A and B are shown apart, each in its own frame.
Chain A
């Protein structure tokens, strides 16, 4: 090979050859598309919600009925017929379902993860892990009917006064729904704990329980807490199950009053479904309230995801 050939060969610039350029552009386009779609949805939420509030509606060219931001954020009654749009009546129900499902799902999910990661032999794990993931794949509306048809009647034997639609059965069913998520992510985090640490624990004469709870769980804390927050986000955003189980009667509750769980309520997501399926007129105030609720929901789940990221960083251990 002459030196000219060699020089030419060495300066081919493969990085900008047509196939490279083409694939690079294609992947870039895909990435842009998904980000653009998300941003567009957020923009839509914000502009439509702006038409709802009296402060911003004139800017959007809306005349007629609007609602006050202050009343929306502080009001405790949600009665569309009377023009009462107090989102707290919806938020409290969402908080209750989230809280109730967390009480059920977080301990059970972590316990399941500990069992799968530390105790189950490989054969059992290879059966249980896919089973959990199937549980996560059941359509949520099925969970809703499960709550309505089985959980509520079962609860009635304990609490005769419980309503047909109630937040307790909604909490239970959402809890069941998010267990797989907590268990699966926590199990991944625990499995990622280096075996060196377990060996160290056993070498010190720790029992299996002491190694699992005293070494593996703290070492996997970042992943476990992330799973909690993701599961809570899921509970907040869960729609069909709560629409079926909790009812449509918007009602302000004290989330920390256990008796309130026996009553029905209308979480934010369920309210939106009911608004859409009801006979609301396009462009009317009730219609625009949908976006105001949607924006509230988005802000809450977005904040949860940011917190999740921060928590994961804070507790991340470098082994």
Chain B
């Protein structure tokens, strides 16, 4: 991946600051999940997204309270929590999609690499070109399959062999075999699950640093969901995936790290997925995970 592109490999990235003493946020240098499907990605962790005291208000209502967390690079980080807990709001802070909601106000610092994306000199359009996003409802453009995937390449003037990039992106999104003979047909003619994989292909084609996914499988049937989950697992080899889900089993299956948000916009616990699900530190998290509420 292109860590070099976005910042030099500075060892003193803010994420490895040893004075950061919040226990919940401590990132193990060697991940706890050494076995299973994610087994190959357990070496040194580098933080790619870091939130420091992020607060969000919608008019007078506070949606997020003092969110501080470090998202490791090339891992799948899941954000779970009951409805209205602010997990989607936090996701949309990362690529500043909240900018488009007039009532929303964001305070705090949120770093991508080493740049606070809420600095005045950050262009949200440029930011979103480095941070891909997949939405809850599949939303392909009313264009051909090819043009959907090539969209980011075209608007960003990314050169190179577009045919090859489109093919590669569709292959990574596990859609190529199903659509290779109908690239000129409308993306809207695909099934819901295929549309969502098309959206994933579209998001990865410009090779972003981070891919945000906002409940990407919630509108899909179980078979399509399982395809998306397999795909997310593979994507994490090259990309950092941050996924919001209300499905705890899904978070347990696919993520390396899990952040639990609870009502009121608080990040209650953040750590290795295995630990969160087997032995959370916080009692409320345990109650939530075991289904006592939420």
Which residues of A line the B interface, CB within 8 A?
194, 196-197, 199-207, 210, 214-215, 218-219, 317-319
Contact = CB atoms under 8 A, between A and B. Distances in A.
B135 A200 contact: yes
A202 B139 contact: no
A199 B127 CA distance: 15
A215 B135 contact: no
B188 A204 contact: no
Given A196-B137, A210-B155, A214-B155, A202 B203 contact: no
A197 B125 CA distance: 16
B152 interface: yes
Nearest to A199: B135
A196 B137 CA distance: 8
Given A204-B203, A204-B206, A205-B152, 19 more contacts: A196-B139, A197-B139, A197-B141, A197-B142, A199-B97, A200-B139, A201-B141, A202-B128, A203-B95, A203-B97, A203-B128, A204-B129, A204-B133, A205-B125, A205-B127, A207-B155, A218-B142, A219-B142, A317-B188
A207 B156 CA distance: 10
Contacts of A319: 142, 188
Contacts of A215: 141
Nearest to B134: A203
A202 B137 contact: no
A220 to B, nearest CB: 10
A4 to B, nearest CB: 50
Interface string B31-46: 0000000000000000
B21 to A, nearest CB: 35
Nearest to B142: A317
Interface secondary structure of A, over-half rule: helix
B139 A204 contact: no
Nearest to A193: B142
Contact of A205 (B139, B141, B155, B188): B155
Contacts of A204: 128-129, 132-133, 151-152, 155, 202-203, 206
Contacts of A202: 97, 100, 128
Interface in B112-169: 125-130, 132-133, 135, 137, 139-143, 151-152, 155-156
Which one of B151, B152, B206 has the highest number of Cβ atoms from chain A below 10 Å of its Cβ?
B151
28 contacts: A196-B135, A197-B139, A197-B142, A200-B135, A200-B139, A200-B141, A200-B199, A200-B202, A202-B100, A203-B95, A203-B128, A203-B132, A203-B135, A203-B203, A204-B129, A204-B155, A205-B125, A205-B129, A205-B130, A205-B152, A205-B155, A205-B156, A206-B125, A206-B151, A206-B155, A219-B142, A317-B188, A319-B188
Interface string B66-102: 0000000000000000000000000000010100100
A44 to B, nearest CB: 45
Interface of B: 95, 97, 100, 125-130, 132-133, 135, 137, 139-143, 151-152, 155-156, 188, 199, 202-203, 206
B14 to A, nearest CB: 24
Contacts of B141: 197, 200-201, 215, 219
Interface secondary structure of B, over-half rule: helix
A319 B95 CA distance: 25
B188 A318 contact: yes
Nearest to A121: B102
Contacts of A197: 139, 141-142
Contacts of B128: 202-205
A215 B140 CA distance: 10
A219 B125 CA distance: 22
A219 B152 CA distance: 18
A214 B129 CA distance: 16
Contacts of B156: 205
Contacts of B95: 203
A218 B143 contact: yes
A194 B206 CA distance: 24
A116 B5 CA distance: 39
A314 B146 CA distance: 21
A241 to B, nearest CB: 38
Give the 6 A-B residue pairs with the shortest CB-CB distance, closest first.
A205-B129, A203-B133, A205-B128, A196-B139, A200-B139, A317-B142
Nearest to B133: A203
Contact of B139 (A199, A207, A218): A199
A5 B127 CA distance: 73
A67 to B, nearest CB: 51
A34 B109 CA distance: 66
Which one of B126, B143, B155 has the highest number of Cβ atoms from chain A below 10 Å of its Cβ?
B155
A16 to B, nearest CB: 44
A101 to B, nearest CB: 30
Contacts of B155: 204-207, 210, 214
Contacts of B126: 205
A211 B26 CA distance: 40
A291 B5 CA distance: 74
Nearest to A196: B139
B249 to A, nearest CB: 27
A123 to B, nearest CB: 12
Contacts of B133: 203-204
A214 B154 CA distance: 11
Contacts of A196: 135, 137, 139
Contacts of A206: 125, 151, 155
A112 B137 CA distance: 30
Contacts of A317: 142, 188
Contacts of B135: 196, 199-200, 203
